[in-house]
Amino acid sequence: MKALVYHGPGQKAWEEKPKPTILNPADAIVRVSKTTICGTDLHILKGDTPEVTEGRILGHEGVGVIEEVGSGVTTFKKGDHVLISCITSCGKCDYCKKGMYSHCENGGWILGHLIDGTQAEYVRIPFADNSLYRIPDGSDEEALVMLSDILPTGFECGVLNGQVKPGDTVVIVGSGPVGLAALLTVQFYSPAEIIMIDLDDNRLNIAKTFGATRTINSRNTDAVEKVMGLTNKKGADTVIEAVGTPATFELCESLVAPGGRIANIGVHGKSVTLHLETLWSQNITITTRLVDTVTTPMLLKTVQSKKLNPLQLITHRFKLSDIIRAYDTFQHADREKALKVILTNE
Ligand SMILES: NC(=O)c1ccc[n+]([C@@H]2O[C@H](COP(=O)([O-])OP(=O)(O)OC[C@H]3O[C@@H](n4cnc5c(N)ncnc54)[C@H](O)[C@@H]3O)[C@@H](O)[C@H]2O)c1
Ligand SMILES: [Zn+2]
Ligand SMILES: [Zn+2]
């Protein structure tokens, strides 16, 4: 089969690899029908995740059809149409029993990271019973690819941890696919104001069409002054960090209202200053989370009932065999006005 293979920082190739086989009784082999590229794949290619070794097939998102199941798989059979979760979970360890699949002692984020991933014609999924979700008949496959990672990430790490309530003022710092996924799912809770902050006017304009009540380009505006002006100098009830830099986390610290919450989503590579000299008395909560994908069944229902339209996040489509060009488009997101790209295995 053909797959997108990592060959060390800056190096990748679309090349021949052996078709995966069942290694454990709980495994399933899935023929990938659609997959996508994540910002995290770009982090891997930059060399930010040294645990990814040469020869690894990348990708942790996708939908497909089951080709073969191991003798221990009870929920799925050959021919079933499935959504692949970016998080692999055994369902049996202490963390899984708490619903913290991201910390599964036998899985977690391993696809396209510690084991071969979904940017390939076929993929092996360990613990298939717990790590795959049945796709209802008549579903739009492209929309569901957005449920492998970015929608549960925005919802769980941003909206649920941020404890958003009706009437709240919410600020989302970062209007990339993950910040936009938080913007789409925060609307389940009817906040009064959703203020999006980014440096890219194109992404802020998209945010307006997705339901942002205000947008701020922090390149040319003082975002703290602006948010304080809009909130009677109080700040926001929930501030969601969806970038992953010291500057944007510190911006969140300046924007949170007394009693409010900072819900971090961003992956941080550098330490951040925590301004306890001002925050110690402000009754705030700071949360962090690696996406668990425990809300995937709920999000699937909201897509089925058309409360959520993930297709809005897709800007480009390619054949899977054209993945090198798709990476180029995704890597130049500003120039190409790209959000998510869909790759189809024809
Ligand atoms: N916690 C998790 O489980 C989890 C899962 C998936 C992704 N992530 C992380 O979420 C973050 C967002 O992911 P994404 O795919 O949307 O990334 P992205 O790079 O596409 O989007 C980030 C956005 O932030 C904006 N930005 C950059 N610097 C800024 C600044 N100083 N002020 C305002 N805006 C700024 C960029 O213009 C961009 O639109 C990343 O750090 C990613 O690694 C976390
Ligand atoms: Zn991802
Ligand atoms: Zn587990």
Distance 289 CA to ligand 1 centre (A): 15
Output the pLDDT for position 269: 82
- Please give the Cα distance from 218 to 200 (Å, whole number): 9
**Which CATH number belongs to the domain containing residue 66 in this structure?**
3.90.180.10
> Tokens 């014609």 appear where?
121
Mean pLDDT score, 47-72:
96
* Encoded tokens for 162: 């941020």
pLDDT at 138: 86
Q: Could you say which of 287, 304, 334 is where a domain stops?
A: 287
Do 39 and 85 lie in a common domain? yes
Please tell me the distance from the alpha carbon of residue 5 to that of residue 118, in angstroms, as a whole number: 11
Ligand 1 neighbourhood includes 42 CB (under 6 angstroms): no
51 with 116, same domain: the answer is yes
What's the pLDDT tens digit per position in 295-343?
A: 999 999 999 999 999 999 999 999 999 999 999 999 999 999 999 999 9
Q: Which residues of 135-160 are buried (b: 16+ CB within 10 A; e: fewer)?
A: beeebebbbbbbbbbbbbbbbbbbbb
Same domain flag for 239 and 168: yes
Length of the chain: 346
- Label residue 253 exposed, middle or buried (CB < 10 Å: 0-12, 13-18, 19+): buried
- 328 and 283, same structural domain? no
Domain carrying residue 273: 152-287
CATH number at residue 211: 3.40.50.720
Q: What is the Å distance from ligand 1's center to 48 Cα?
A: 15
Return the pLDDT at 43.
87
- The gap from C-alpha 270 to its chain's centroid, in whole angstroms, comes to 20
Q: And the tokens for 268?
A: 């941080």
**29 in Cβ contact with 21 (< 8 Å):** yes
Q: Bridge-partner residues for 172, per DSSP?
A: 196, 240
Q: Are residues 189 and 273 in the same domain?
A: yes
- Tens of pLDDT, residues 183-224: 999 999 999 999 999 999 999 999 999 999 999 999 999 999
Query: Which of 269, 287, 305 is at the close of a domain?
Result: 287
Ligand nearest to the CA of 110: 2
- What is residue 289's three-state secondary structure? coil
Q: Are residues 244 and 339 in the same domain?
A: no
Say yes or no: 166 and 272 in one domain: yes
Predicted confidence (pLDDT) per residue in 217-257, tens digit: 999 999 999 999 999 999 999 999 999 999 999 999 999 99
Please report the pLDDT score of residue 174 as a whole number.
97
Q: How far apart are the C-alpha atoms of 299 and 147, rounded to whole Å?
A: 7
The answer on 118 and 51 residing in a single domain is yes
Domains in the chain, number = 2
In one letter, which amino acid is 331?
Answer: Q
- Are 73 and 162 members of one domain? no
CB–CB of 262/239 below 8 Å? yes
Q: Which of 240, 268, 287 is the last residue of a domain?
A: 287
| Residue 50 burial (CB count, 10 A) | 8
The continuous run of DSSP H or E covering 239 comes out as strand 236-241
Q: How far apart are CA 299 and CA 27, in angstroms?
A: 25
Shared domain check, 214 and 183: yes
Residue 221 CA to residue 202 CA, distance in Å, equals 16
Do 167 and 269 lie in a common domain? yes
Nearest CA to ligand 1 atom 13: 178
Nearest CA residue ID for atom 5, ligand 1: 153
Please tell me the pTM assigned to this model. 0.96
177 lines ligand 1 (CB under 6 A): yes
Mean pLDDT of 168-179: 97
CA of 234 to the centre of ligand 1 (A): 26
Least confident of 37-41, 74-78, 205-209: 37-41
Ligand 1 contact, 154 CB (< 6 A): no
Same domain, 273 and 308: no
